[in-house]
């Protein structure tokens, strides 16, 4: 470990801090720290930045409740930039999205990004915000919630049919289709993967959960 005094702040006394989700490795935001905000961050274990527009300290989550709990802070080889790994309580962006980096300006169509649910939902979000001609995903968003719900229902039925037939390969195919359409529904309703992760993580005793059913006499 190095001493924070070894960091190189710029002529305005600032150092860029790239905030990264420690679990997903997704880049959440780029902000700036000065020596005071860095000290507060390390003391509280919460991200604190220097707002260049307001000329004031800014403890992330103080107003919104979306605190970022710091797990680790690293610096680069030149010691003039920081990587801050966090566990977040909510959206990182003031627009309500998980990350501030949501607007794609270039996609190399000849290369594929490593697949993850995060990369897939990011692509789906992009198809809604930056409509692409001929895109099926864009078509679903243009048709609206009723069309999306219809497709979720259809794909659910296909999963049931394939599973009932004992066809593993077909069931995998249909589950993938259902997953995609559910993610389209999530974007349409403003539901993030983080919210789903948190809901699943909160179910510590799912093996003992009792489903209440209405009794028909």
pLDDT of residue 217: 46
pLDDT of residue 95: 83
Phi, psi of 20 (to 5 degrees): -125, 135
Give yes or no for residue 212 having a pLDDT over 60: no
Q: Cα–Cα distances in Å, from 84 out to 29, 34, 64, 71, 183?
A: 10, 14, 20, 8, 28
Tokens of 131: 């409509």
pLDDT of residue 31: 97
- Interatomic CA distance for residues 19 and 68, integer angstroms: 9
- Contact call for residues 30 and 16 (beta carbons, < 8 A): yes
Average pLDDT over residues 157-172: 97
The partner residues of 96 in beta bridges, in order of sequence, read none
Q: What is the pLDDT of residues 90-135, one digit of tens each?
A: 889 888 888 898 777 776 766 666 788 888 888 898 888 888 889 9
Name the nearest CA neighbour of 14 among 52, 40, 42, 46.
52
Q: What is the pLDDT of residues 129-160, one digit of tens each?
A: 888 889 999 999 999 999 999 999 999 999 99
All structural domains of the chain: 4-88 (3.10.20.810), 117-205 (1.10.287.1080)
pLDDT of residue 87: 94
Q: What is the pLDDT of residues 25-81, one digit of tens each?
A: 889 999 999 999 999 999 999 999 999 999 999 999 999 999 999 999 999 999 999
Q: Can you give the pTM of this predicted structure? A: 0.60
- Interatomic CA distance for residues 158 and 50, integer angstroms: 52
Q: Mean pLDDT in the chain?
A: 89
pLDDT band at 213 (very low <50, low <70, confident <90, very high): low
Average pLDDT over residues 176-181: 97
């Amino acid at each position: 470990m190095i001493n924070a005094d070894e960091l190189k702040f710029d002529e305005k006394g600032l150092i860029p801090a790239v905030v990264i989700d420690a679990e997903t490795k997704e880049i959440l935001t780029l902000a700036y720290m000065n020596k005071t905000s860095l000290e507060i961050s390390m003391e509280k274990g919460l991200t604190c930045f220097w707002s260049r527009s307001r000329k004031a300290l800014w403890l992330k989550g103080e107003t919104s409740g979306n605190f970022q709990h710091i797990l680790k802070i690293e610096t680069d080889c030149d010691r003039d930039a920081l990587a801050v790994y966090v566990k977040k309580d909510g959206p990182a962006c003031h627009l309500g999205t998980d990350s501030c980096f949501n607007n794609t300006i270039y996609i190399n169509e000849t290369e594929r990004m490593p697949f993850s649910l995060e990369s897939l939902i990011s692509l789906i979000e992009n198809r809604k915000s930056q409509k692409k001609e001929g895109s099926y995903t864009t078509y679903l968003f243009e048709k609206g919630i009723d069309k999306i719900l219809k497709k979720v229902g259809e794909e659910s039925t296909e999963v049931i049919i394939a599973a009932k037939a004992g066809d593993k390969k077909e069931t995998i195919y249909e589950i993938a289709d259902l997953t995609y359409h559910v993610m389209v529904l999530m974007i349409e309703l403003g539901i993030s993967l983080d919210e789903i992760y948190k809901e699943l993580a909160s179910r510590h005793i799912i093996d003992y959960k009792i489903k209440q059913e209405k009794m028909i006499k």
